[in-house]
Amino acid sequence: MTRHGTRDPRFTEVVDAFEQLAADDDFQAQLAIRHHGRTVVDLSTGLEPDNLLPVFSAGKGAIGVVVAHLLNGGHLDAERPVADYWPEFAAAGKSAITVGQVLSHQAGLVTVDGGLRDADFLRHEPLAVRLAAQRPLWRPGAGFGYHWLTIGTLADEIVRRCTGRTLADVFAQDITGPHTVDVHLGTDASLDGRTVAVDAPDAEELAPLAQLLAARRDRGWSAADDFPVPLWERANHRDLQRAGAPAAAAVASARGLAAMYAALPKVAGPDALAQVSQLQVAGDDLTTGRYFRYGLAFQLPGADHLRYGSARAVGHDGAGGAIAFYDPADDLAFGYVPRRIPLPGGADARAIRIAEIAHRCARAAHPQEA
């Protein structure tokens, strides 16, 4: 059953759509929406509203929020070479790669020689050292490919070099604390009672996805990569959640994701928000083979599976089905977290449909914004 949370009557159509999904006993999810900073929808079914779940790459939104915050404060310049902040990064022909190219998946550092390892989720420094020495897989700026794990390490090291703090510390101290954001890059025992496991598909259901990843070995996934436990299962392990790798190990509630994106215009300001939402690259991703559009750290809407907002919107989905975004066109912040991982992964199509309805409700509530 759907728990009775916040249900603004102007968003009744959203509530009805979620209730229809909740009629299926197998459907377990959270949904939270803020409009003009105020919570208008806060629903859950099969989960407590304050449960935390692994959100996979939807947690990359935290990278984008930190980047926007640092751009706004003048601590970071996306047009400067990474090596200006991180001198060791200049090795192997990377001296001209800019911060913006790294944050828009153009750097060609999807993996490292010898492949990625499970330990790369748990310890920042060894992978950062290997990435600094790594030669790009393609000429930076000549194409883009999803840096699914390494963008977190790269962004974290850049943040450390320009602030003296880890990305997780900046996020906790400047974003989650002041703005009451229930998104965590790293956990402790105090959160264990609220953290629940995602429900991964079985091996037979996952076979098509495994075949797809195998077919991408020449597009950036390294045949040397070694993960003894499938990533969709690994996300449930406490050691990974404790480490909180920014690219893939965040835990969050839908409330938390919506609150994070509602805080974005406050911590970014108008100029930095416009900068991170500016299109950097669009086209067929060299890693996944799918069409994507990227700003700085954020996905931008426009791909068939990510039609969640206006040209000014920013967000990120995750392999587990979570999707969260902020759209300044309607001042709408959206968070959705399912427990069951949908196939083939990425934003749950049901959430995208709800997002479309939410925009329609927001515009009806404030027709002058339409």
The DSSP symbol for 339 reads S
CATH number at residue 18: 3.40.710.10
- pTM for the model stands at 0.95
pLDDT in tens, 310-365: 999 999 999 999 999 999 999 999 999 999 988 778 999 999 999 999 999 999 98
| Residue 40: inside a domain | yes
| Residue 56: inside a domain | yes
| Residue 2: inside a domain | no
| Residue 280: inside a domain | yes
Token reading at 364:
């009806």
| Residue 137: inside a domain | yes
Span 111-127, average pLDDT: 93
Res 226: pLDDT: 64
pLDDT in tens, 8-36: 999 999 999 999 999 999 999 999 999 99
Closest CA to 262 of 21, 98, 34, 82: 34
Q: How many domains does the chain have?
A: 1
Domain hosting 111: range is: 9-209+230-322+331-369
pLDDT in tens, 262-273: 999 999 999 999
| Residue 50: inside a domain | yes
| Residue 220: inside a domain | no
Res 5: pLDDT: 80
Q: Using alpha carbons, list the distances in angstroms from residue 126 to 87, 235, 260, 335, 357.
A: 16, 21, 29, 33, 45
| Residue 222: inside a domain | no
Closest CA to 130 of 146, 118, 151, 116: 116
